Amino acid sequence: MKISNPVQAVTATALLLSSFFLMNACTKNLADTTLSKQAADAAKQVAVTTVTIADSNLLAYKKSPHEIYAGFYRFQGPCYGAAPNGSNFSQVPDSLDVLILFCFSPTSPIADSVPQWINALHAKGTKVIVTGNLDLAPGAPDNSTGYTITAQRIMDSIVNRYGFDGYDIDIESNPTGTTLTRMAGVYTALSKFLGPKSGTGKLLTFDTNQSGSNNLFRQVYSLVDYVWLQAYGRGASTLQSTWNTFSQYIKSTQFVPGFSFYEERGYPGNVWYDITYPVNGTGRAFDYARWEPTTGKKGGVFGYAIDRDAPLTSSTDNTLYTPTYIVSKKLIKIMNP
């Protein structure tokens, strides 16, 4: 039998060991005990080797040039209850590149579980970052000293404390004046620890429904790893014109448009209709995955509220089947077949 890869090799070894143990099943009890232990040890080795090979391939894929898939996972408490896909965000698809924990707080009843769930995703090469803001730390002065204090507090109390791989800034306004100065100051202070200028490998991202003309973006664009564009409810034909406003500041591979799954209260009130049910590969989310800028490749696609990535019974029914991350898995395959 020709062995074409390491997984086949360890599997073949397991089969040979199993045959040997079966042929000698009539030996004395002591021998049976010894052989059973050998069989168990062999099985464990096969399992460990197979997992190692699978993880190795997955890690190699994550490090290779490809269009990423990212997902915002709304955390249980203080904003949301347990999601349809549960509170354990480490169960997301293996090929997810970046998980963005949304509305996280140390006061959450399950905050203590976050480090172990992050570690589980690290084993698959998935980065986990957290969404936050640029508000000054309590008592910090509104100057460069205060900006440094604020950045250090964010790192100590959130990013480093829980083992996050970066920080995502949610910008849904166009700041001016002293507000702009403060936000840019804190963002710049954070860039010493996070983002492309830090040398740490940790991410600093810009999450927005604004265009590239946003005042804050134009001051900090060189400090940004990815722009997550909240394109919810928009046709894919609008993405090129929005990308044009960013194109002189960042590479196309840093531009990641996003869609939204349905949110609380579901259909028909709180939904963007970016996903068509039943899931058949049509709809805005899939259009985004297939879209490319005219000047190169996009960075990928993100989904907001992937904690609700589960098929619905219809477009007007909030009843869920067993969660499967069916949409996320299809999008990953479209971008990286």
One-letter amino acid identity for 39? A
Residue 172 is a catalytic residue? yes
Q: Which amino acid is at 329?
A: K
138/35 Cα distance (integer angstroms): 65
Q: Using CA atoms of 140, 142, 148, 153 in order, give the dihedral in degrees to the nearest 10.
A: 40
Beta bridge partners of 154: none
Q: Which long-range contacts (CB under 8 A, 24 or more apart) does 17-20 make?
A: 17/42
Cβ(128)–Cβ(101) below 8 Å: yes
3-state class of 309 per DSSP? coil
Please give the biggest Cα pair distance in the chain: 86
Contacts by 77-80, CB closer than 8 A, 24 or more apart: 77/105, 77/107, 77/108, 77/109, 77/110, 78/103, 78/105, 78/107, 78/108, 79/103, 80/264
Residue bearing tokens 């959450």: 108
Structure tokens, 324? 């499967």
Q: What is the DSSP string of 112-131?
A: GGHHHHHHHHHTTT-EEEEE
Selected catalytic residue, list 67, 172, 264, 292: 172
Active site residue ranges: 172
